[in-house]
Amino acid sequence: MKLPARASLETRLSAVRFLLREAMSWPASLGVLVAAVVLLPFLPLGVGLYPVPRLLAALNLLASRAQARAAAYSCAVVPFDRRRLEDRYTFGELAVLVSAPETKRDVSWLLFHGAFALLSGCLAVALPLAAVLYVFAAPLWVLFPPATPLELAFPVTSWPAAGATVLLGLIYGYAAWLLPPWLARRLSGGTLAILSPRRYDELSRRIQDLSAARASALTAHAAELRRIERELHDGAQNRLVGVVMMLGLAQRAAESDPAAAAPFISRAQDAATEALAGLREAVHDIYPPILDELGLGGAASALTSRSPIPCSLDVHGLLRAPAAVESAAYFVLAEALTNAAKHSNASRIDVVLRTEAIPREDVLVIRVSDDGDGGAAVPAYGAVPGASTGPGPGAGRGTGLAGIARRASAFGGKLILNSPQGGPTELRVELPCAF
């Protein structure tokens, strides 16, 4: 089926725009490549290790933007998330990072982009300009004096030479019509092919992620069962034992003096009421009924209104999610607010709940920020990229943060904690809705 002329022209203009964007990003790619070459001789001396994280971060940023541009032009979906990089690494972590498959792919793309991006962009601009110049300037050769003839591909001093120049311009125009889409397809396809992990690598990474999520889910489930058993044993069970004892005493008292049984019955009633309240609280901790009644936004509003620290809540852009995800988000927010109230010394907390759309699925994002002392850290079990690991007010005491990390991992999500000494602290939890 033949495309209409308008659609065909738009296709070629889109290709030219893509090639020009790639050409404009070429100096940044060249700068990173030159910096890497200059840094290479200093790596064995150890001096070059300090700028390596920033260099890798710059390379990762360039590659991610190039991948996004190529995917947008090709109408392709990138079926994976790029890695997140930190500012500081140990020598061993840095060695692993430099030799990682992602780094090798980024370096391969850098060489590919440095070799072809500028050339493709120049061709996309030079060919149509040359076509217009040769076709329209060649007939004007008669206006030039014989001593200084018109110089294009060759001196134009006669009508046959002018005709040859016009013909050459038409060839340039034909090439300008055909070549940009072909170049854009090759450049975008090469970018996506280089930066996308091989299917085996992607499947292997996915299996590792699923195994980690399964282990986290089992750990979180076991922790929940232990918590529920502890609450029932220490709370409702003890109160029910007290009810049985009070009723037994009341029965004995009623045999000799019915009036003496009344206090025991009253105490048994009080204990039964407390046991019922404990059972309701335990059921609430399994799945809060308020989620069914008001949704996550309303439940979050109830949590923030009970916080001892003034809270602001933003639920703009929040969509409904599966019940299990909303329940996890509710407990994550409750634990985060509790941690902030206990340890942060903050005067204000900002809570944002929203649903972010990514190519593969929707992600429920919980962001809790406070203006407190900072220095919070995720314990070793829950350490994730972006988490603080240094000593501070939160170090070593964060069973709540570890629980949040376990909940996020059980759903294939992640916890990102940014809490420098002196504050502020920002906690971000991402929960995939299609877990």
Dist. CA 152–CA 168, nearest whole Å: 10
Helix (H, G, I), strand (E, B), or coil: what is residue 84?
coil
Dist. CA 407–CA 309, nearest whole Å: 24
Q: Looking at residue 366, what is its pLDDT? A: 92
Highest mean pLDDT out of 30-44, 142-156, 347-361: 347-361
Selected residue with higher pLDDT from 260 and 419:
419
Residue 245 has pLDDT above 60, yes or no: yes
Highest mean pLDDT out of 143-157, 168-182, 226-240, 282-296: 168-182
Selected residue with higher pLDDT from 243 and 220:
243
Helix (H, G, I), strand (E, B), or coil: what is residue 422?
coil
Selected residue with higher pLDDT from 156 and 115:
115
**How many distinct helices (H) and strands (E) make up the chain?**
11, 7
> What DSSP element (H or E) covers 49?
none
CB count within 10 Å of CB 326 equals: 24
Residue 429 has pLDDT above 70, yes or no: yes
| Average pLDDT over every residue of 31-54 | 74
For the chain, what percent of residues have pLDDT higher than 70?
74
> What's the angle, vertex CA 354, arms to CA 300 and CA 77, rounded to 5?
150
Under the banding of pLDDT at 50, 70 and 90, the label for residue 397 is very low
Q: Looking at residue 13, what is its pLDDT? A: 85
Could you tell me if 386 and 374 are in contact, meaning their C-beta atoms sit under 8 angstroms apart?
no
DSSP state string for 119-148: HHHHHHHHHHHHHHHHHHHGGGGGGS-TTS
* 430 bridge partner residues: 365, 414
| Average pLDDT over every residue of 218-227 | 65
- The whole-angstrom distance between residue 142's C-alpha and the CA centroid of its chain comes to 64
Highest mean pLDDT out of 3-12, 82-91, 287-296, 336-345: 336-345
Average pLDDT, the chain: 77
Residue 173 has pLDDT above 60, yes or no: yes
- The closest of 393, 409, 399 to 379, measured between CA atoms, is 399
Residue 388 has pLDDT above 60, yes or no: no
Which of the residue ranges 11-15, 204-208, 320-324, 367-371 would you say has the lowest mean pLDDT? 204-208
Distance linking the first and last C-alpha atoms of the chain: 41
- The closest of 59, 70, 107, 78 to 183, measured between CA atoms, is 70
Look-up of token digits 């009508």: 159
- Using only C-alpha atoms, what is the Rg of the chain? 34
Could you tell me if 366 and 329 are in contact, meaning their C-beta atoms sit under 8 angstroms apart?
yes
Query: Counting beta carbons within 10 angstroms of the beta carbon of residue 64, is it exposed (0 to 12), middle (13 to 18) or buried (19 or more)?
Result: middle
| Average pLDDT over every residue of 320-346 | 86
Q: Looking at residue 103, what is its pLDDT? A: 84
Q: Looking at residue 12, what is its pLDDT? A: 82
Helix (H, G, I), strand (E, B), or coil: what is residue 64?
helix
Dist. CA 406–CA 157, nearest whole Å: 81
| Average pLDDT over every residue of 165-171 | 86
Look-up of token digits 């916890």: 415
Q: Looking at residue 148, what is its pLDDT? A: 78
Could you tell me if 37 and 107 are in contact, meaning their C-beta atoms sit under 8 angstroms apart?
no
Q: Looking at residue 225, what is its pLDDT? A: 64
Helix (H, G, I), strand (E, B), or coil: what is residue 413?
coil
Residue 163 has pLDDT above 80, yes or no: yes
Which of the residue ranges 124-128, 240-244, 384-388 would you say has the lowest mean pLDDT? 384-388
DSSP state string for 247-299: HHHHHHHHHH-GGGHHHHHHHHHHHHHHHHHHHHHHHHHHS-HHHHHHHHHHH
Amino acid letter for position 387: A
| Average pLDDT over every residue of 99-128 | 87
* Tokens found for residue 398: 């964060």
Q: Looking at residue 374, what is its pLDDT? A: 83
Highest mean pLDDT out of 48-52, 213-217, 302-306: 302-306
Dist. CA 363–CA 369, nearest whole Å: 19
| Average pLDDT over every residue of 138-153 | 78
Please name the residues in contact with 204: beta carbons below 8 A apart, sequence gap of 6 or more: none
Q: Looking at residue 390, what is its pLDDT? A: 33
Residue 238 has pLDDT above 80, yes or no: no
Q: Looking at residue 222, what is its pLDDT? A: 64
DSSP state string for 304-356: HHH-SS-EEEE-TT-----HHHHHHHHHHHHHHHHHHHHHT--S-EEEEEEEE
Residue 383 has pLDDT above 60, yes or no: no
Please name the residues in contact with 194: beta carbons below 8 A apart, sequence gap of 6 or more: 105, 108, 109, 112
Residue 395 has pLDDT above 70, yes or no: no
Q: Looking at residue 217, what is its pLDDT? A: 61
Whether this prediction's pTM lies above 0.75 is answered by no
Dist. CA 129–CA 9, nearest whole Å: 17
Predicted confidence (pLDDT) per residue in 186-213, tens digit: 999 888 888 887 655 556 666 666 666 6
Predicted confidence (pLDDT) per residue in 61-100, tens digit: 898 889 888 888 888 776 666 776 666 666 667 777 777 8
